[in-house]
Amino acid sequence: MAVERSGPGNLVVSGVLGVLAVSEVLLRSTDLGGGFALLLLLTLASTLPLALVLGSGGPARSGTAVAVSTACVLSLVPFGILTVGGVVAQLVCVYVLGRAGATRLGGLLVLPYVVIALGSHEEPTRIVAVLVATLASAAAATGIAHHARSTALAHSATEQAFADTLLEHAARGERARIARELHDVVAHHISMIAVQAETARLTTPGLPAEGATRLLAIGDTARTALTEMRRLLGVLREDADTGVQRRPQPGLGQLIDLVDESRDAAGSRTRLIVSGPIATLDPGIEVTAYRIVQEALTNARRHAPGAAVDVELRYGEEDLAVRVRDNGPGPVAAGLSGHGLLGMRERAATVGGTLRTGPAPGGGFVVEARLPVKSEEEQEQEGAARP
């Protein structure tokens, strides 16, 4: 039963029902005397307000539906007449209320007809009341079923949209993680293959021409693979960072901010100590050192809350020494076999460094990493150049 239409359509429906109802009264009621005018008013009141029921919502719709139902009941009880237009209006009212979720009010509008059917002594009035009560109950049930179905569909659509959003977020996060791994690990090793092949071709004494050609081909292949990987990384990051402003990888220049944030979060003393000639290092070394310090500070806050922490950086000619020490309870509370420590070891290993964790002298826990600032080829060349 389609009842919700545009404003002009609602007026037409209620007007047609009103004309039909008045015509029916004029044909059936010729001996009512002074009550005839009142019956006409009740007939109009039971049909014309239907436009408001169809076109409005909330309290206005509920109040108008109650008015229509009251006019129908008053037409039936004193006069024994309920027009077809009034019956249709009554059915539409309970249907619209049920469809809008006002189930209690719809049930209350059916109740007077049940009372009339049980208590009336006039057979025609009782028959009409039973008929209207039955039809109105069916209309209300239909509206309630439509409301329940619409609500279920809306909930299902919301849940599906939420699930799709979660799935897309997880997929983007996974693509971003893969991109980081490719950039930090695989691309690094491929670039090292290219460097090693080129270095071997240029520095190996007495290298046959065929060997030099193969080394050149290895270097070219590695550089091609690196170019393709950068293209793939661009695709992955473009998809993963849709709508997100990309931030540069952190380095040692951001360590002071990291230490300040850790101090504010932990509410304890956290110091940054730097020694040695400060130099700009390879971005891979800097981001590795930053992540190691970040994870060590996180572990200190988690396992040694309130403990003082010292972050030390020592710049050397061959390596960068990173040391994070707290004066907390030591290795037991620090979780020596945790995933965080394993991740730090893996990060250090990807750049050719080492990492040690354990009890600190005098108590507490310490994380020490040594990260080479020069590649193996540069170290070998320097060693060969020394007398």
DSSP assignment of 259-324 equals: HHHHHHHHTS-EEEEEES---PPPHHHHHHHHHHHHHHHHHHHHHSTT--EEEEEEE-SSEEEEEE
Query: 41-50, 138-147, 173-182, 370-379 — which one is most confidently predicted on average?
Result: 138-147
190 in the same domain as 87: no
Burial of residue 200 (CB within 10 Å: 0-12, 13-18, 19+) is middle
- Which residue among 240, 268, 293 closes a domain? 240
Both 316 and 198 in one domain: the answer is: no
Cα(384)–Cα(387) distance, integer angstroms: 8
- Please report whether residue 44 resides in a domain: yes
234 shares its domain with 325? no
Residue 367 is given by DSSP the state E
Range of the domain at 140: 7-159
pLDDT digits (tens, 9 = 90+) for 65-114: 888 888 888 888 888 888 888 888 888 888 888 888 887 888 788 888 88
Q: Are residues 33 and 149 in the same domain?
A: yes
Asked whether residue 368 falls in the same domain as residue 257, the answer is yes
Neighbour tally for 347: CB within 10 Å: 23
Q: Looking at the structure, do residues 187 and 150 belong to the same domain, yes or no?
A: no
CB 332 within 8 A of CB 351: no
Instruction: State yes or no: pLDDT of 141 exceeds 80.
Output: yes
The fraction of the chain above a pLDDT of 90, given in percent, is: 10
Domain boundary among 240, 267, 290: 240
Is residue 272 within 8 A of residue 311, CB to CB? The reply is yes
Asked if 20 and 147 sit in the same domain, the reply is yes
Q: Looking at this protein, which amino acid is placed at residue 73?
A: V
Domain count, the chain: 3
| Prediction pTM value | 0.42
Distance linking the first and last C-alpha atoms of the chain: 100
Query: What does the alpha-carbon distance between residue 316 and residue 323 come to, in Å, rounded to a whole number?
Result: 14
Does the residue 245 lie in any domain? no
| Amino acid sitting at position 363 | G
DSSP state of 253: G
Helix 255-266 with 283-303: angle, nearest 10 deg: 10
